[in-house]
Amino acid sequence: MQAAPIQRLIASLSKLPGIGRKTAQRLAYFIIKSDGDYAYELSDAIAEAKKNVKYCSVCGNISDRDPCEYCSAPSRDQSVICVVQDSKDIIAIERTKEFKGLYHVLGGAISPMEGIGPDDLRIPQLMARLNSAVTEVILATNLNVEGETTAMYVARMIKPLGIKTTRIARGIPAGADLEYTDEATLSNALEGRRVID
Ligand code: ZN
Question: What is the pLDDT at residue 175?
Answer: 80
Distance 63 CA to ligand 1 centre (A): 8
In the listed set 16, 32, 52, which residue is the last one of a domain according to the structure?
52
Q: Rounded to two decimals, what is the model's pTM?
A: 0.80
Measure Cα distances from 117 to 108, 130, 150, 152, 187 in Å.
10, 21, 9, 13, 30
Average pLDDT by stretches of 10, the chain with 197 residues? 91 94 95 92 94 94 95 97 97 94 97 92 97 96 94 96 92 82 87 87
Distance 78 CA to ligand 1 centre (A): 12
Look up the CATH number of the domain holding residue 101. 3.40.1360.10
Q: Based on the domain organization, do 76 and 159 belong to the same domain?
A: yes
Q: Based on the domain organization, do 96 and 147 belong to the same domain?
A: yes
Distance 123 CA to ligand 1 centre (A): 15
CA angle 196, 124, 105 (to 5 degrees): 70
Measured distance CA(33)–CA(133) in Å, rounded: 56
Question: What is the pLDDT at residue 35?
Answer: 87
Distance 40 CA to ligand 1 centre (A): 32
